[in-house]
Structure 1
Amino acid sequence: MESSIKKTDGQPLLSDRLTETPVRRRQFLQYAGAGAAAALVAWGCKKDNPGPDMGGKGFYFGSGDIAILNYAYALEQLEAAFYTEVISNPYGSISDWERALMMDIRDHEIAHREFFKAALGQHAIDSLAFDFSAVDFSSRGSVLATARTFEDLGVSAYNGAGWLIQDVNYLALAGKIVSVEARHAALVRDLIDNGSFANDEVVDANGLDLSNSPTVVLEAAGPFIKSKIDVTDLPTY
């Protein structure tokens, strides 16, 4: 069964387009909106911003908003790699419906990854290597538990980093992406335990989604990231 995103006006499925052709910078600017587009163009013209390099400490995220966008880019790389593996090696009990859902989430994560890569341009960190050895991809329980961890972590990461972003256009873009990540988190949680999509593990007494600082998020994601990273100048709290 193919992804539940249907063909329209003779166009190929989203999954086909994303896996075959990376999202280009121009497409990103169109999707991001006029404000973000203007900011990104201006940013791309700056020559004094530090670019990522391996150095002795690993992939350097940069500082300020660049570092935050590279932080988000790293997390989107992680999620895209995970769901790509899920589809490549689906658990034996996966239904056509669940496979279609996983394909849709994979496609969204690939789109997010490519958006950040396009936005960052020469400041983007290189592709990271990941370690999913702790995940049993033949087990539905293991896959969904890991997906829940990644999705909950992703939502809390965007919530926790939002107030650290200086440029309001980047903040607006992050808001658009985190809303999709929250949809993923709700879906995965309900696949595991129907009705758990907004329980007190992820929503506090004020009805607000939980947030985590970049330090907490990277500590949680660390076991899955093989590449050495340098987040020395990443804003945090």
Structure 2
Amino acid sequence: MFNVMIDSVACNGKVGRRWFMQVLGVTSAATGLTACSNLLDDENPYVGGVQLGRDDVGVLNYAYALEQLEAAFYTQMLTTPYAGITPEETQLLTDIRDHEIIHREFLRTALGGDAIESLELNFGSLNFADRAAILAAARQFENTGVAAYNGAGKLLKNPDFLTLAGKIVSVEARHAALIADLLQPRTAYFASDEVVAFNGLENVQTPEQVLSAVRPYTGTVVNGDLLPTT
């Protein structure tokens, strides 16, 4: 499906061999792997993590990582519901969970063999029994997801992928508005200064900012160093 292909993995099974050989200027696989191992041990903080990749594949893996996080979060919310959850809230959160699972599985299928592995996630710092606290966490995840898609759209080269990303981010924005309304019903909280800038446009975050924000919840370290920046 993709014109860009991530090469056979090396360096702890996560980073492409050809990329390291090009960067290090080596010509033999054995020398390349030795140099790669040394570089990871001495300089790379992502040993044992996943490499998202480069170009459109990397950007889609970035989105796939975030969808994994959101799908797992809402699954946990419904597995251990907060005290006093109503049937209406349960249905709304179930709809959001199902959307996130669909997004996750769509991206996994689209990426095929280039998809990163399933991430280890850690929500131990979140109190799922506290309605206000966990809905605030949900709002953070949704707003971060919207800002992430807004920031990553310009990095995609294939217009078909950009169209699909636009369709996903519009759903994520609906989720963010719904969660905001659960927290502060019938107010303008869904479009507060936290998420909408003074010019009336949604806030944008770079992959570096987003990956830093979600790092407390990812047991698997996610490396986005190869992602495009323009």
TM-score, length basis structure 2: 0.80
Structure 1 residues 215 and 97, CA, compared in 2 at 3 Å: closer, same or farther?
Answer: same
Q: Gapped runs of 5+ residues in structure 1?
A: 1-40
Equivalent residue, structure 1, for 2:75: 84
Residue 54 of structure 1: CA displacement? 3.0
Q: Is the 8 A contact 2:4 2:57 kept in 1?
A: no
Equivalent residue, structure 1, for 2:175: 184
Structure 1 window deviating more from structure 2 (189-198 vs 83-92): it is: 189-198
Question: Which aligned runs of 4 or more in structure 1 are off by greater than 6 angstroms?
Answer: none
What SS does the corresponding residue of 2:120 show, helix, strand or coil?
A: coil
For residues 90-129 of structure 1, what are the structure 2 equivalents within 5 Å? 90-129=81-120
Residue 229 of structure 1: CA displacement? 2.4
Residue 236 of structure 1: CA displacement? 3.2
For 1:76 and 1:220, locate their aligned partners in 2 and report how far apart those are by CA, in whole Å: 15
Paired residue type of 1:156 = A
For 1:200 and 1:106, locate their aligned partners in 2 and report how far apart those are by CA, in whole Å: 26
For residues 189-208 of structure 1, what are the structure 2 equivalents within 5 Å? 189-194=180-185, 195=187, 196-208=189-201
Residue 48 of structure 1: CA displacement? 4.4
Q: Gapped runs of 5+ residues in structure 2?
A: 16-39, 41-46
Equivalent of residue 230 in structure 1, options 223, 226, 230:
223
For 1:50 and 1:103, locate their aligned partners in 2 and report how far apart those are by CA, in whole Å: 38
For 2:65 and 2:215, locate their aligned partners in 1 and report how far apart those are by CA, in whole Å: 11
Residue 158 of structure 2 is aligned to residue 167 of structure 1: yes
Residue 154 of structure 2 is aligned to residue 158 of structure 1: no
Structure 1 window deviating more from structure 2 (68-77 vs 53-62): it is: 53-62
For 1:133 and 1:172, locate their aligned partners in 2 and report how far apart those are by CA, in whole Å: 35
Q: Is the 8 A contact 2:211 2:222 kept in 1?
A: no
Structure 1 residues 205 and 122, CA, compared in 2 at 3 Å: closer, same or farther?
Answer: same
Structure 1 residues 117 and 235, CA, compared in 2 at 3 Å: closer, same or farther?
Answer: same
For 1:86 and 1:113, locate their aligned partners in 2 and report how far apart those are by CA, in whole Å: 17
Question: Could you give the per-residue CA deviations for residues 192-226 of structure 1, whole angstroms, max 9, x where no partner exists?
Answer: 11221112211112211111000000000111000
Q: Is the 8 A contact 2:4 2:55 kept in 1?
A: no
Structure 1 residues 113 and 48, CA, compared in 2 at 3 Å: closer, same or farther?
Answer: closer
Q: Is the 8 A contact 2:207 2:224 kept in 1?
A: no
For 1:193 and 1:48, locate their aligned partners in 2 and report how far apart those are by CA, in whole Å: 46
Structure 1 residues 92 and 208, CA, compared in 2 at 3 Å: closer, same or farther?
Answer: same
Equivalent residue, structure 2, for 1:210: 203
Residue 60 of structure 1: CA displacement? 1.6
Structure 1 residues 201 and 51, CA, compared in 2 at 3 Å: closer, same or farther?
Answer: farther
Q: Which has the larger radius of gyration?
A: 2
